[in-house]
Structure 1
Amino acid sequence: MKFWKSVVVKLWGTILILVSFVLLVLTFLLLQFMENYHMQEVKDDLSKLANKVAFIMESHENEKLAKDIVFELTDSLTHIIVVSEDEVFSSGQKNSTEIAEEIVQDEKLASVISSKKEVIEVREPQELQSSGSQDHSLLIVGIPYEDGAVYVAQSLMAIYDTSKKTTTYILLAAGIAIVLTTVFAFFLSTRITYPLRKMKEAAHELANGKFDTKVPILTHDEIGGLAIAFNRMGKQLKYHLNAIEQQKEHLSNILSSMADGVITLKVDGSFLVTNPPAERFFQAWYYENGMQENEELPIELKELFQRVVNTEKEQIIEMKVQGRSWVIVMSPLYNQSYIRGAVAILRDMTEERRLDKLRKDFIANVSHELRTPISMLQGYSEAIVDNIASSEEEKQEIARVIYDESLRMGRLVNDLLDLARMEAGHITLRMEDVNVEQFIEKVERKFQGIAKQKQIHLFSSIDIESNHYEFDPDRLEQVLTNLIDNAFRHTSDGGEIKINVKSHQGGLKFDISDTGVGIKEEDLPFVFERFYKADKARTRGRSGTGLGLAIVKNIVEAHEGTISVHSKEKEGTTFSFFIPNH
């Protein structure tokens, strides 16, 4: 079935039909021409012969001599019949007598004598009565002369034989032409279809992704131009597909690298594209609602999607999933003039909301911390102005309170300034080569007075590979002072505070442990935040600003170190921080 559909067969069939039609028309016209030509030649020859016989019959008085001359002019196919007023004679060939009788009896032929006009007639076999003349047609020419008429009849069999031979030769030539046409058609078709087959194979390879495939350029005609265009098309197709693939990969990398989640929805609400942050959002939502992943779109997003489709405007909602705040912005996607879906951006706003809460808490805490000393300063100042203090001792006591509260406000303001500079990255470290043992002894001596007063056992343990490490001694002393001061404030009389220093991963690890009241488990994640204060009962009358641990964390991180806390309520607390050796 495929063979008959091939270009070779179609082209061969077209050429063969065209050649056959041309040969058929040419053969018909040629045979007609040959037959008419030979017929006219025979008519002319018979007319000449009849005129010659008539001339002989008129010019010879001796009738017998004239007849003999006439008989010499005949051949096997020609009959001469002379009809005079008193007799009819023929040339003597076979069937001449029967032909002569039929001529005399034929009114049209016999009218030559009376009308004195030439008659040329063709008699078919069925028109002749003589049995001997029924095999072929006769051409009869009648010429009048003075005493009668001369009739010359000749069989047309020679003409028919010539036509048959001519037809045979033409058919033979037509057969040879058809064979040559077939060979030529197949040769031409092969020359045309071979490059086409190569292009077909190359097209299949292009469809399979082999873009380096090239079509051989065999000719420099239109097919060769087509092969050049095909190779150029393959090269351009490879270039454009690579560009599309790179763009797709680029977009995929952008989506994967985005901190925000991206969701593309079809017009029916099903997923089209998601990125990892969006997938994490869905995993958390499915887990929170006890559902299987990819089961369905969250209800809130369904309603948001419907609003976007109905209003054709951007919509925004905020959701809480697993304790995290997500802001979702969804916009319609257009395909020319109609909506084909929507795209949603999911942004995790947990940190922003936390920072916003911290900002509000910071304002409240600063206001709270400043309100008490300001109120006390105002109250005691009014007492002085109003001369409420009657004795010198009362005045001294009021002045002492005002002085202590001003110091407290100064510490708070300084701590706030230090913390602001540190968080802004403006902290400057003065790195020095420090003797660790002497440094720890210096810090320990600062708190020996308080230790004796509260009867708290303060001691240190040092286990280091080298006695010299590089860090900022002033800043690190500030860290240890804050941590040890916290430990004293939260440790009851008779307790124990230990400073443990040891070498760790090329740096120093400090552990400040106490046997105080400890920190509640729910408070542990927030101890390094600004203005953090646990139960006021733990401060035992020595309230701090709530900024010390935040400052400690910033100093440690400025040294590229880390800090952590471990505590159990009523068992004690251990602050640990690591400082790498620079």
Structure 2
Amino acid sequence: MKNRLFRKFALILLLLFLPVFMALDLLLVRAWKREYLVAAFSHLERLSSLALSAGPHGTKFPDLKQWLAWIAQSGVRVTLAEGNGKAMVDSKEDPSRMPDLSARPEIREAIQKGIGRTHEHSSALDMDVIYLAVLHRDQQGRAIILRRSLALPGLKESTRLIHGYFGLASLVILIPAFGFIWGFSRAITGRIHRLKSFLDRAAKGDLRPLPMERTSDELADLAAALNQTVQKLDRTISSLTEERNRSSAILASMKEGVAVIGRDQRIIYCNQAFCQAAGTASISCQGRPLMEIIRHSDLLSYVQKALGGEESVHGEVVVGSIRTRSYAVTAAPIRTDTGISGAVMVLRDISEIRRLERARRDFIANISHEFKTPLTAIQGFTETLLAGAIDDTRNRRRFLEIIREHALRLSRLTDDLLKLAQIEAGKSLHEAREVDIKEVIDPCLEIARVKADQKQLVLEAHYADDLPKLFGDLYAFREILENIIDNAIRYTAPGGRIEVRAGVEGSEVILSVADTGIGIPKTEQERIFERFYR
């Protein structure tokens, strides 16, 4: 991993120390120059005092020239000028070619104060030069200015040496400092990397605590705080996981279909009952758009209303075409601090309730019809007898037989209702015993043959004599078979055929009735055992 922390520390160190080093270097050089110049000017002043003390007593040129030559032996340049700044003689240049010296700063200062000093860089010599001018009066009282100049070749070289030594000293200081920063930053970076790896591991679900550090600094405190946070997070996740598993188990065991739909109308969660209601029990519904799973417009509209903000939406839908199912639908929004984040839809299967309601309606309609026909006949023939037909010896017996037949029919209907009530109450009305199949089939055929002959139907039975005996109530077996044969006769056209067969399949005796009648539509076959269903 790149040591970015070292680069930052190094940059801070450079930003802090480089200005300080540069300022110290500048101050040191200036102080050195100042001391160097003070010493140089002091040297010139001593030479001036020595020169003036040994100066010529006259103003003749040979004596003056000899005097200047003697002074120049000290390595300085000497110029003698009049009080107005006009050069009289110079140790290195012809005074007639020299410019007027009155404009020179050291000359002006000497005229004003008696002594003048100047320091400047000579581009011709490429070095610093100092000038010292002293005002002097000869024996006649005339003002004479003695100017001495001294080149300082050592000043530049010493300044360069100072810069070099100071730079070397800076490197001596900075290199160990950088080494210390490198080691310190690597140690800090390593600890930070361990913290980052710990957080990355925690983000992936690995909540093992971080080993405690031996040091007691801010990073150690941070590691301890992160360990505490991760431990709390672990407990919270465990609690949430347990709660989620508990909720999932509860929802999975519910008979009602439950689905959580997101704001984007994708299914976030659904239980198996919901998938079965949607007809997609074999595939996963979670994460898929709701419109891919449910194409019922009413269901989609309930969800959209809930997502739109309606507090609770209720309705009822019928799904399926061949085998229809009825569901009571409830949809409600999921509200958070930021608004509606989704909706919950619950599908409760009420198909059995609706089936029972239909059965109740059919029962009332059928039983009313069953009772109305004999009652109407009884009422009608009774009124006929009361109206005078009782004296009709030829018809009154026939009328009374009809009344008796319909009364017996009402009695049978009443007995059937009582039996049904006792069966539903769990009361057993049968006497179980071993029964020969012949005892069941033959009496039923004998009773049904009269009706079959009236419709010119062929009624036959096919069974072996050695069939195993049945165990049950003989009269219940007969009643069941009579009802089935009666239905076959009723719904088979004249000239048709009805066959009663009995045989053995495995450990079971199979008794079947087949006819050439109209049959039962496939959509109605699952309802044939409903009470009073036609």
Q: Does 1:183 align with 2:188?
A: no
- State the partner residue of 1:412: 413
- State the partner residue of 1:169: 165
Q: Does 1:211 align with 2:206?
A: yes
Q: Would you say the 8 A contact 2:131–2:149 is kept in 1?
A: yes
Give 1:369 deviation, angstroms. 1.5
Q: Would you say the 8 A contact 1:324–1:350 is kept in 2?
A: no
Q: Does 1:18 align with 2:16?
A: yes
Structure 2: distance between partners of 1:24 and 1:322: 93
Structure 2: distance between partners of 1:520 and 1:251: 47
From the superposition, tell whether residues 427 and 330 of structure 1 become closer, same or farther in structure 2 (CA, over 3 Å): closer
Unpaired runs of 5+ residues, structure 1, are 55-78, 284-293, 534-582
Map 1:454-465 onto structure 2 (within 5 A).
463=468
Unpaired runs of 5+ residues, structure 2, are 59-63, 88-100, 283-290, 451-459, 490-497
Q: Does 1:224 align with 2:220?
A: yes
Residue type matched to 2:476 in 1? V
- Aligned partner of residue 211 in structure 1, secondary structure: coil
Give 1:176 deviation, angstroms. 1.1
Residue type matched to 1:480 in 2? F
Number of aligned residue pairs? 467
Q: Would you say the 8 A contact 2:76–2:148 is kept in 1?
A: no
Give 1:170 deviation, angstroms. 1.7
From the superposition, tell whether residues 348 and 431 of structure 1 become closer, same or farther in structure 2 (CA, over 3 Å): closer
- State the partner residue of 2:276: 277
Structure 1: distance between partners of 2:277 and 2:499: 51
Render the CA deviation track for 1:369-402: whole Å, top value 9, x for unaligned. 2123333444465567667534999988877766
Structure 2: distance between partners of 1:311 and 1:185: 61
Give 1:194 deviation, angstroms. 2.0
- Aligned partner of residue 427 in structure 1, secondary structure: coil
Q: Would you say the 8 A contact 1:261–1:345 is kept in 2?
A: yes
- Aligned partner of residue 137 in structure 1, secondary structure: strand
Structure 2: distance between partners of 1:515 and 1:113: 153
- State the partner residue of 2:454: none
TM-score (norm 2): 0.60
From the superposition, tell whether residues 34 and 217 of structure 1 become closer, same or farther in structure 2 (CA, over 3 Å): farther
Q: Does 1:479 align with 2:476?
A: yes
From the superposition, tell whether residues 395 and 169 of structure 1 become closer, same or farther in structure 2 (CA, over 3 Å): same
Structure 2: distance between partners of 1:499 and 1:266: 62
Structure 2: distance between partners of 1:319 and 1:530: 23
- State the partner residue of 2:288: none
Render the CA deviation track for 1:452-471: whole Å, top value 9, x for unaligned. 9979999985637xx9x8xx
Q: Would you say the 8 A contact 1:500–1:512 is kept in 2?
A: yes
Q: Would you say the 8 A contact 1:319–1:327 is kept in 2?
A: yes
Q: Would you say the 8 A contact 1:487–1:497 is kept in 2?
A: no
Q: Would you say the 8 A contact 1:463–1:502 is kept in 2?
A: no
- Aligned partner of residue 86 in structure 1, secondary structure: coil
Once the two structures are overlaid, the 10-residue window that deviates more, 445-454 or 522-531, is 445-454
Q: Percent identity?
A: 19
Q: Does 1:6 align with 2:4?
A: yes
Structure 2: distance between partners of 1:160 and 1:16: 28
Q: Would you say the 8 A contact 1:318–1:327 is kept in 2?
A: yes
From the superposition, tell whether residues 85 and 45 of structure 1 become closer, same or farther in structure 2 (CA, over 3 Å): closer
TM-score (norm 1): 0.56
Residue type matched to 1:194 in 2? G
Render the CA deviation track for 1:259-281: whole Å, top value 9, x for unaligned. 548695976x8888875235427
Q: Would you say the 8 A contact 2:106–2:118 is kept in 1?
A: no
Give 1:90 deviation, angstroms. 8.2
Structure 2: distance between partners of 1:463 and 1:443: 11
Residue type matched to 1:389 in 2? I
From the superposition, tell whether residues 515 and 374 of structure 1 become closer, same or farther in structure 2 (CA, over 3 Å): same
Render the CA deviation track for 1:147-177: whole Å, top value 9, x for unaligned. 8999998876676666555433322211212
Structure 1: distance between partners of 2:370 and 2:172: 120
Q: Would you say the 8 A contact 1:265–1:273 is kept in 2?
A: no
Q: Would you say the 8 A contact 1:263–1:344 is kept in 2?
A: yes
Q: Would you say the 8 A contact 1:80–1:151 is kept in 2?
A: no
Structure 2: distance between partners of 1:301 and 1:515: 44
From the superposition, tell whether residues 449 and 419 of structure 1 become closer, same or farther in structure 2 (CA, over 3 Å): closer
Structure 2: distance between partners of 1:162 and 1:516: 134
- State the partner residue of 1:35: 33
- State the partner residue of 1:368: 369
Render the CA deviation track for 1:170-192: whole Å, top value 9, x for unaligned. 22211212212321232232223
